[in-house]
Amino acid sequence: MDATDVFEPLQATDPAEVAGYRLAARLGAGGMGRVYLSHTEGGRAVAIKVVRPELADDPDFRGRFGREIRAARRVRGAYTAELIDADAEATPPWLATLYVPGPSLTQAVARQGPLPVSALLWLMAGMAEALQAIHAEGIVHRDLKPANVLLASDGPRVIDFGIALAADATSYTTTGHPIGTPAYMAPEQASGEGATAASDVFALAQTAAFAALGKPLYGDGPGVYVLYRIIHSEPDLTLLPEPLRPLFARCLAADPADRPSPADIVEWCRQRLGADEAPAVWQEIGGPEAAVPAPVPEPTPVRPDPWAGPPPRPLDPAERGARRRRAALFTTVGLAAALLILGLAWRALGPMGGGEHRAGASTTPSAGSAGSAGSAGARKTTPEPTGSPATGKAAGTPTAPSPSPSPREPRPEPYAQVTLDAKHSVNLADPRKQPDGRTGDIRFSCKSTGCELKSDTSVFMPMYDTPGTTLDECRLFLPHSKIHSLPLAGAANGSEFCVMNDSGDIALFVIATKSTAIPELAFLLGDMTVWRGAA
Q: Which of 205, 201, 203, 150 is nearest to 179 (CA)?
A: 203
CA 207 to centroid of chain Cα atoms: 32
Q: How far apart are CA 259 and CA 15, in angstroms?
A: 45
* Residues in Cβ contact with 187 at an 8 Å cutoff, skipping those fewer than 6 apart: 202, 230, 231, 254
**Before 92, cis peptide (omega within 30)?**
yes
Residues in the chain: 535
The SS3 of residue 366 is: coil
Q: Which of 104, 97, 98 is nearest to 150 (CA)?
A: 104
Instruction: Supply the Cα-derived Rg of the chain in whole angstroms.
Output: 36
Beta strands in 115-174 (DSSP E): 149-152, 155-158
Which own/partner pairs from 297-300 qualify as long-range (CB within 8 Å, at least 24 positions apart)? 297/22, 298/22, 299/16
DSSP string computed for 164-194: HHHTHHHHHHHHS--SS-GGG--HHHHTTS-
Q: Check 143, 160, 441, 505 and give the catalytic one.
A: 143
Q: How far apart are CA 433 and CA 413, in angstroms?
A: 14
Give the neighbor-by-neighbor strand order of the sheet with 506-515: 412-421, 523-531, 506-515, 496-501, 458-463
Q: Is residue 264 annotated as a catalytic residue, yes or no?
A: no
Distances (CA, A) of 391 to 152, 367, 371, 452: 89, 20, 21, 61
Determine contact, residues 102/286, Cβ cutoff 8 Å. yes
Residue 465 main-chain phi, psi, to 5 deg: -80, -165
Residues with a catalytic annotation lie at 143
